Amino acid sequence: MVAITPAFAEDLFALGAGPQVVGVSQFTEVPQAARLPHIASFSWIDSEEIVRLHPDLVVGIPAQGALVADLRRAGVHVVLLPNDSFDDLFTGLQTLGDLTGHRVQANALCARLRARSAALAARVAHVPRPRVFVVLGVAPIYTVSDRSYLAHLIELAGGRIAVTGIDEAYPRYSAEALVALQPDVIVADKAIGLGAVLGRPPWNALTAVRAKRLYMIDDPAILLQPAARYNEGVAWLISRLHPLAASPAAAR
């Protein structure tokens, strides 16, 4: 089996199907997959190498449909599963369980994940909900809206997404609109370089920046990747948005 998205590689290992995986995509961070060939990304796949591996299954997302055309012509079994929403995450886990002979494990994993989410959400059920602006890029500015998967995680963590009413899940956002928005909290991937531009407009005009309500995450996959580790992302958010509600184990 080959997983051409990091999320599905993570899910397969979480299900106990890791020994069946023979290839993964770039940015797959599962330690057990470190020695496997990295033969795909969101925008490319090495079809010849995948065919040489003789996988019984290749799993990806619908947006990669054009990329897998050569694989399908070569007779490789390809399954593309949506993973845009919170519900898609669980549907994907159960489908992967069925495809790999791990249905029982998938059902048990989904139950554990939902129970953990409910326990985390209960900690922040009655707290004020700050508006969270997530920075995906700084030049130009890219963020996430209430149509994104991440918006649900922020809700679970006792926040609310600051950008609403936009059709795109991951829109480009103007500097002027950001200053007018004045979010309560800013969350960013440490790797995008936001720290280097905080002294410049529009960042230096934001109350959240001046009040040090800006939080950088070292492992953005736990927030941005719809996969089995998502509760780590929820716990991380709670520890920043509502530190008094976070247990020592949840604060990472």
Q: Round to the nearest angstrom and report the end-to-end CA distance of the chain.
A: 33
- Domain 126-245 fold is Rossmann fold (3.40.50)
The pLDDT of residue 42: 85
Report the amino acid identity of residue 193.
Answer: G
* Averaged confidence pLDDT in the chain: 94
13 SS3 class: helix
Q: What is the pLDDT of residue 164?
A: 96
Spatial distance between the Cα atoms of 4 and 41, rounded to a whole number of angstroms: 6
Tally the C-alpha atoms within 13 A of residue 120's C-alpha that lie toward its C-beta: 30
Instruction: Give pLDDT tens digits for 54-85.
Output: 999 999 999 999 999 999 999 999 999 999 89
Q: Hey, do 2-116 and 126-245 end up sharing a CATH topology, with the first three levels equal? A: yes
Q: What is the CA radius of gyration of the chain?
A: 19
Give the mean pLDDT of 93-98.
Answer: 98
Domain residue limits, the chain: 2-116, 126-245
Residue of higher predicted confidence among 229 and 250: 229
Task: Give the side-chain half-sphere CA count within 13 A for 80.
Answer: 13
Greatest Cα pair distance, the chain, in angstroms, is 57
Q: What confidence score (pLDDT) does residue 40 get?
A: 94
- Whether 247 shows a pLDDT value over 70: the answer reads no
State the Cα–Cα distance between residues 134 and 144, nearest whole angstrom. Answer: 6
Quick: pLDDT tens for 151-173. Answer: 999 999 999 999 999 999 999 99
Look up the CATH architecture of domain 2-116. Answer: 3-Layer(aba) Sandwich (3.40)
pLDDT band at 251, cuts 50/70/90?
A: very low
